């Protein structure tokens, strides 16, 4: 399985997952043109994308989804709640494949499963993909990591997991009090500490790679996220390679 993060953060999220002859996009939070440009720059033609998986309706995950799907005639895979929120219902031009959390599905050589996430969105999910003996979990935008979520992560060979904010930076930073409450609350975003704790609990023998994603540019810095992640892997005695995705550069293509 190959994984290519095109962008990561509140300025836009998109990543490519492929196994065998099947290539899909997970989130399309940049303009369709920008996604096409970034695909081409990495040697992938937009017309090879078989589907666009959308985690939830927030702009940084969905803004280019409809246009991309229509232009390249590939269906959008998402929950009924997200479909309504992004205007897919009654839209004759973007085919839509409904996803139910916890039910398994398949597109070509990729198996997938969704997990319902606690977030201030209509019906947000994280996704697990399986192919070539690998299992990749893509999870961001959730307010807390409970036991069933840790279980969802636990068989992964690769994890793309939100490390949104450093708790001290958020507390002392420039955001308004209500916004700080929203981000740190149970329907907001995972902090470095929360995500590191989830990794520590979930890290299994199969885990090869963890990439910290969706870092806040105001309330986090890559060295803090990476330090929290590495400490968690150390404590779990896991040898997985750790990395941090960048808003603009994304993350180098790797084999999961
Ligand atoms: Zn987001
Ligand atoms: Zn969100």
* pLDDT value of residue 162: 98
Distance CA 21, CA 86 (A): 29
- Ligand 1 geometric centre to CA of 180 (Å): 15
- Ligand 2 geometric centre to CA of 154 (Å): 23
Distance CA 195, CA 63 (A): 26
The H or E element containing residue 226 is helix 222-235
Which listed ligand is nearest to 27 at the C-alpha? 1
Inform me whether the pLDDT recorded for 202 exceeds 90.
yes
Summarize the confidence of residues 231-254 as an average pLDDT. 97
Distance set, CA 44 to CA 18, 149, 198, 215 (Å)? 11, 32, 33, 26
Over the stretch 132-172, which tens digit does the pLDDT of each residue have? 999 999 999 999 999 999 999 999 999 999 999 999 999 99
Segment among 4-18, 90-104, 202-216 with least mean pLDDT: 90-104
Distance CA 210, CA 157 (A): 9
Segment among 51-65, 82-96, 183-197 with least mean pLDDT: 82-96
What are the DSSP calls for 57-103, one per residue? SSHHHHTTHHHHHHHTT-PEEE-HHHHHHTT-TT-SSS-EEE--TT-
- Ligand 1 geometric centre to CA of 9 (Å): 6
Residues β-bridged to residue 112: 105, 129
- Ligand 1 geometric centre to CA of 173 (Å): 19
- List, in sequence order, every beta strand (DSSP E) within 99-208: 104-107, 110-116, 125-131, 134-139, 158-162
- Ligand 1 geometric centre to CA of 201 (Å): 24
* pLDDT value of residue 86: 95
Q: Are 8 and 246 in contact (CB under 8 A)?
A: yes
Burial class, 236, CB count within 10 angstroms (exposed 0-12 / middle 13-18 / buried 19+):
middle
Inform me whether the pLDDT recorded for 82 exceeds 90.
yes
Inform me whether the pLDDT recorded for 93 exceeds 90.
no
- Ligand 1 geometric centre to CA of 237 (Å): 30
Inform me whether the pLDDT recorded for 91 exceeds 90.
no
- Ligand 1 geometric centre to CA of 256 (Å): 23
Show the tokens assigned to 220.
């986090």
Q: Are 2 and 256 in contact (CB under 8 A)?
A: yes
Which listed ligand is nearest to 118 at the C-alpha? 2
- Ligand 2 geometric centre to CA of 64 (Å): 15
Over the stretch 182-196, which tens digit does the pLDDT of each residue have? 999 999 999 999 999
Summarize the confidence of residues 47-65 as an average pLDDT. 98
Show the tokens assigned to 134.
């690998």
- Ligand 1 geometric centre to CA of 141 (Å): 5
Which listed ligand is nearest to 122 at the C-alpha? 2
Show the tokens assigned to 156.
């992964």
Over the stretch 94-123, which tens digit does the pLDDT of each residue have? 789 999 998 899 999 999 999 999 999 999
The whole-chain average pLDDT of the chain stands at: 96
- Ligand 1 geometric centre to CA of 214 (Å): 7
Rounded to the nearest 5°, which phi and psi values hold at 146?
-90, 175
Show the tokens assigned to 142.
């959730």
Which listed ligand is nearest to 8 at the C-alpha? 1
């Amino acid at each position: 399985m190959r994984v290519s993060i095109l962008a990561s953060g509140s300025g836009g999220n998109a990543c490519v997952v492929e196994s065998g002859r099947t290539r899909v996009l997970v989130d399309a939070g940049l303009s369709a043109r920008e996604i096409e440009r970034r695909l081409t720059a990495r040697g992938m033609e937009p017309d090879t994308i078989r589907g666009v998986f959308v985690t939830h309706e927030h702009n940084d995950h969905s803004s280019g989804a409809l246009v991309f799907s229509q232009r390249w005639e590939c269906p959008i895979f998402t929950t009924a709640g997200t479909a309504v929120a992004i205007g897919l219902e009654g839209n004759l031009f973007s085919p839509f494949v409904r996803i139910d959390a916890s039910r398994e599905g398949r597109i070509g050589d990729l198996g997938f499963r969704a997990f319902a996430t606690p977030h201030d969105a209509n019906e947000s999910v994280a996704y697990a993909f399986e192919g070539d003996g690998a299992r990749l979990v893509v999870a961001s935008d959730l307010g807390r990591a409970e036991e069933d979520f840790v279980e969802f992560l636990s068989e992964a060979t690769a994890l793309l997991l939100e490390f949104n904010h450093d708790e001290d930076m958020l507390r002392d930073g420039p955001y308004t009090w209500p916004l700080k409450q929203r981000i740190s609350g149970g329907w907001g975003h995972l902090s470095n500490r929360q995500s590191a704790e989830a990794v520590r609990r979930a890290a299994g023998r199969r885990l090869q790679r963890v990439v910290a994603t969706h870092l806040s540019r105001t309330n986090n810095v890559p060295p803090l996220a990476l330090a929290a992640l590495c400490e968690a892997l150390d404590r779990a005695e896991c040898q997985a390679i750790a990395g941090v995705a960048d808003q603009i550069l994304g993350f180098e293509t790797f084999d999961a």
